[in-house]
Amino acid sequence: MNCQVAQEKITEGFAAGSAVLSQDVRTHQENCAKCRLFYKQETNLFALLDAGLQNLANQPVPTSLLPRLRAALEQTPLHHTFTLPAWSVVAVAATTVLVLSLSILWNRGQRAPLGHERAPVEAVVSKKTTPKSPHRSDARTTDSIRLATKTYTISPRAKMSEPVPEVIVAGAEREAYTRFVATHVGDRVRTPMTNVDSASAGEATLEIASLRIKTIEVQPLEGTEEEEP
Amino acid sequence: MQELVLNPPGTTLERDAARQAETSIRDEFEARLAECGPLAFRVANGVLRNAADAEDVAQEALLRAYRRFRELRDPARFKSWIVRIAFRLALDRWRSRKRRDTRETAWSSPGNAPATPSVHEMAEANEFQVRLARALDELPEKLRLVVILSAMQGYTLEEVSGLLEIPVGTVKSRLFLARKRLAEKLR
């Protein structure tokens, strides 16, 4: 056994609270003056350590402590309050966030089919605002009529369960149709205007039942560029 | 003719019952105070090494325990509960004191620094005790609490293990580690 191992064993023995050395350490110590000195030093060190710790841990308790504690207890009311633990607040907050996010996702999921049904109408409207046809005036005319026709044909037949498509109709148009429906209920609505020949678009005569429309003038909106045919 | 009296909630009867319950809890708590007050003080003093601060911490710990005394399911655990509360509070105070000291040391100008202890005061202070206190501060919390409780008079290792609610073997191994580290620092 060398000195390093012997000294480690001596320290560990003292740290474990036992000053009794093992046989091999004792044998080594008998022949090694350095380790004997180390043993003495460790004995002193741990004696001081124990004394110091006991001094620290056993400080006299102030006589004022207990009267002070009793006075503090007298002033402290023991309420029957229900206090929530800290984790419950976090749990409630997390649940709220979860429920909110789920409800948002659920609402989005339900809105998706509506948007799908609205698409054709929106397509018509967008066609009206941004015509791609070379004969824009015709397109506008037919689009507006198509919009109105759609309103007339779909609305009465619409079932409660079916979603009614939204159609943007100007106030004047709506009034005209109300009059039209009132006077020509039962008349068959002819809609050849959707297939109006583009060549005769300038002076097209559109016929809706007995309603005759002559000379439709369609002018481009201000600020819009005319497309080349 | 019989008179019908309706007692709304929170009447004298209920209030009396609540007061009686409170009195019984207070009596039960005060019976433990004589033993647990000094225990809380010693634990706090072992960390803070300042009697005034330790007294404050002991009071705070006991008041906290008193407010939640009703929630304590097992009365046998009261002492270990007090020890833990007092140790936590003492550590909090010790840390804040340490931060404050560091901040003041870093920012204060030499003119505002506290006067260095005189030669006489230095001689009075036990150098070893000061070194031991510093070494103790550097120990991990778990080891420190075991050392403090084991050094208290009247507490065996079995009692310490009961206070900390850990096995005796764990107490022994922690004490061994703590003493070894302290010896290394004090050597």
Residue with tokens 């409660």: A160
On whether ipTM exceeds 0.90, the answer is no
Q: Encode pLDDT of A118-162 as tens digits.
A: 444 444 444 444 444 444 444 444 454 444 444 444 444 444 555
Q: Which residues of B touch A15 (CB under 8 A)?
A: 176-177, 179-180, 183
CB A21 within 8 A of CB A10: yes
Q: Map residue A81 onto helix, strand or coil.
A: coil
Q: In this predicted structure, what is the pLDDT of residue A187? A: 55
| Interface contact A78, partner B, CB < 8 A | yes
Q: Is A56–B49 a contact, with Cβ atoms under 8 angstroms apart?
A: yes
A78 with B22: Cβ contact below 8 A: yes
CB contact under 8 A, B133 and A45: no
Residue of B nearest to A12 (CA): B180
**pLDDT at residue A165, rounded to an integer:** 62
Which of residues 25 through 54 in chain A touch B, CB cutoff 8 A?
A: 42, 45-46, 48-50, 52-54
pLDDT of B107 reads 57
Using CA atoms, how far residue B53 sits from A74, A125, A184, A227, in Å, is 21, 80, 99, 89
CB proximity A63 to B under 8 Å = no
Binding-face residues of A in 154-213 toward B, CB within 8 A: none
Chain A residues near residue B60 by CB distance under 8 angstroms = none
pLDDT along chain A (229 residues), means of 10: 88 85 87 91 90 89 90 76 74 93 88 52 44 48 47 45 66 85 65 47 51 69 58
pLDDT at site B61: 93
Å from A84 to nearest chain B CA?
Answer: 12
> What confidence score (pLDDT) does residue B25 get?
80
Side chain identity, residue A46: F
Tokens 């018509």, residue? A124
pLDDT single digits (tens) A43-58: 999 998 998 898 888 8
Residue A224: per-residue pLDDT: 59
Helix (H) / strand (E) element for A170: namely none
| Structure confidence at residue A163 (pLDDT) | 60
Residue B21: what pLDDT?
A: 76
* Chain A with chain B: Cβ pairs closer than 8 A: 114
Nearest chain A residue to B25, by CA: A78
Name chain B contacts of A59, Cβ cutoff 8 Å: 42, 45, 51, 54
| Domains of chain B as residue ranges with CATH | 14-106 (1.10.1740.10), 123-187 (1.10.10.10)
Interchain proximity B180–A11, CB inside 8 Å: yes
Asked if residues B62 and B142 have their Cβ atoms less than 8 Å apart, the reply is no
Q: Cβ contact (<8 Å) for B183 and A54? A: no
Contact B85, B110 (CB under 8 A): no
**pLDDT values of chain B reduced to their tens digit, one per residue, 187 residues:** 555 655 555 567 777 777 777 788 888 888 888 889 999 999 999 999 899 999 999 999 999 988 888 777 787 888 999 999 999 999 999 999 888 877 776 655 444 444 455 555 555 457 888 889 999 999 999 999 999 999 998 789 999 999 999 999 999 999 999 999 999 998 8
Q: Do A15 and B180 touch (CB under 8 A)?
A: yes
- Rounded to two decimals, the pTM is 0.56
